Amino acid sequence: MQQAAFSTDHFFPLEGEEFNFAVTRSNPAVIKDFPELESTALSKILDDNELLRRIQLTDKKLRSTIKAIELEILPNNKGRPVETARWRYVVRNGVVMAKKNVGIRQIFVTTIPERLTYCFANKIHKEFGCSSLNGLMKEASVLIEAPKIKDAFKAIMGRCRKCSFHRALPNIFNPLKQYNDFNPSEIGEVVSWDQISRLSELNNRKMIKFWVLTDHLSSASFLSVVEGPCSKSNREALILALKKLRPEKFGKSRTRVVMDSARVNTPLVDDPELTHLKIKVECMTAHSRSKNNLAILDTRVAKMTKYLTLALNEIKDAYLIAERVSTEHNRIRGAHGYSPVELLTEVDQFTNEKLEIDWQMLIKIRRTAREMSRLANEKMMKAGKFRVPMNLSPFVEGDSYGGTTDSPIKLGDIVLISGIFDKNNSRPFYKISISEQFPDGIDFENQLIHTTKMDLKRKNKQANKVWSFNCIRCVIDGTSDMKLPPTEDEKFEILYFEL
């Protein structure tokens, strides 16, 4: 068959194209050839095999890969990278796809040309929502394979306040808590229960209190509003939260609830109503090494704090805040490749397809990850606890934001300050502004910036502060409108064909 393929003349119109690949890789002008990408949802694009094939045929490497796989036309000496792609990729329904192992899942994802990497990264950010860099990378890993997509996400996060807030930026090292929990074998077998409180600026600095329920196996966490200060309201809120976590098995299988020894929690130990529902409450004390089984709750609350702070800036209603924070937290994928909501429903959160989860493998990986975390903590504590301050330089046209150690900075940019990163500060963003002492807003000689606190109803003198460069956690482009980069007047004449 290979000999027959070489002896037959195949007409490929794009073989004679004169593309300037140095331009097309960095210039999104090629999107003009596919106007449907702008208005079509990402899920529909990934289901449109005809559109994906036309996109892939505009790429030199993917086009040669299709020829090598479908027609067995092997590449010449100059196309050796295609030889690697020939055994690495497969063609399914006319589309080049990559076989990947994500966590404990094995899936096929669509391969995207490098010139459209930024376009697809922007659609993932727009449809999936703001998240940390790892969160966006994990979501992209189960949808597409695109070159330099991590750099594209960094560029997007350098212009997005919410994404920059979610990023795990380098800071003073705090070792993670170590714990030995009860090692549950199913969802809802062991949960933690605690109360948190936050100040709401939109409600005239009113203190809002939430109950937090965290499942130890799936890491699913749910917020519910505190209705009253007594243990009776605590019991009712706990019952409703457990019903929401596992409605089909509520009251049928045993549930162990771990709490601290607060005054509203201790009356629930051996409570008759909870005992009848097969719910056993255990209050941790200093004598029982209380942090062992509450550490997982502390880590969940730490992750939810970012979502909670952003929600408090936008919503007044406490019930809507609890619903939004629970939804946004439970959609982030873990190291095993699944998100909490996928573990609860066993349905893919993006495609709504049924998932077959290997629970024994998941439990094993979870225990192994805890052991590796302890070893990593010891190693990092030996290495040191402090990070090097960011290296900031004057902005020059063409500079990109999003770096964690080096970044440009200019008047009008937005900064996150390390000293104000706490749970009760719902206004963490500062904008570089001018003053009499700082006519340019930035003093590079003394490494100082003049800022104005953002998102305040009323501006006052306390809103203006001077910070050192060493206090800056992150710099965000203040002039960005979160649109695609400007395109040059370069047109591509694409001819499509069927192999």
- Specify the CATH number for the domain of residue 456: 2.30.30
Question: Based on the domain organization, do 331 and 399 belong to the same domain?
Answer: no
pLDDT value for 31: 66
In a domain, 184, yes or no: no
Instruction: Quickly tell me which residue has 């709401």 as its tokens.
Output: 200
Using 50 as the pLDDT threshold, list the residues of the chain that sit under it.
1-27, 172-179, 287-290, 385, 420, 484-499
pLDDT, position 285: 66
- The predicted-structure confidence for 409-428, as pLDDT tens digits, reads as follows 999 999 988 654 555 666 77
Q: Which two tokens stand for residue 86?
A: 């020939």
- Note whether 145 and 112 are within 8 A (CB): yes
Residue 376: what pLDDT?
74
Does some domain include residue 484? no
| Structural domain ending residue among the three candidates 355, 383, 411 | 383
Separation CA 151–CA 95 (nearest Å): 25
Residues 145 and 283 in one domain: no
Going by their DSSP bridges, the two strands 472-476 and 414-417 should be labelled as antiparallel
Residue 34: CB atoms within 10 Å: 17
User: Do both 211 and 347 map to the same domain?
Assistant: yes
- Claim to verify: residue 211 and residue 277 sit in the same structural domain: yes
68 and 211 inside one domain: no
Q: Compute φ and ψ for 26, nearest 5 degrees.
A: -110, -5
Residue 82: predicted pLDDT: 65
Q: How confident is the model at residue 184, as a pLDDT? A: 84
335, 351, 383: which is the final residue of a domain?
A: 383
Q: How many domains does the chain have?
A: 3
Residue 313 placed within a domain = yes
Is 254 within the bounds of a domain? yes
Residues 91 and 149 grouped into a single domain: yes
Whether 31 and 150 map to the same domain: the answer is: yes
Same-domain pairing of 373 and 430: no
Quote the CA–CA distance of 393 and 403 in Å, as a whole number.
Answer: 12
227, 326: one domain:
yes
Domain extent at residue 52: 2-160
Distance CA 126, CA 34 (A): 18
361 and 232 fall within a common domain: yes
Evaluate whether residue 423 is within a structural domain. Answer: yes
pLDDT of residue 76: 65
Give residue 368's pLDDT. 81
| Domain-embedded: residue 418 | yes
Structural domain includes residue 177:
no
Measured between alpha carbons, how far is 83 from 432 in angstroms, rounded to an integer? 52
Residue 232 maps to a domain: yes
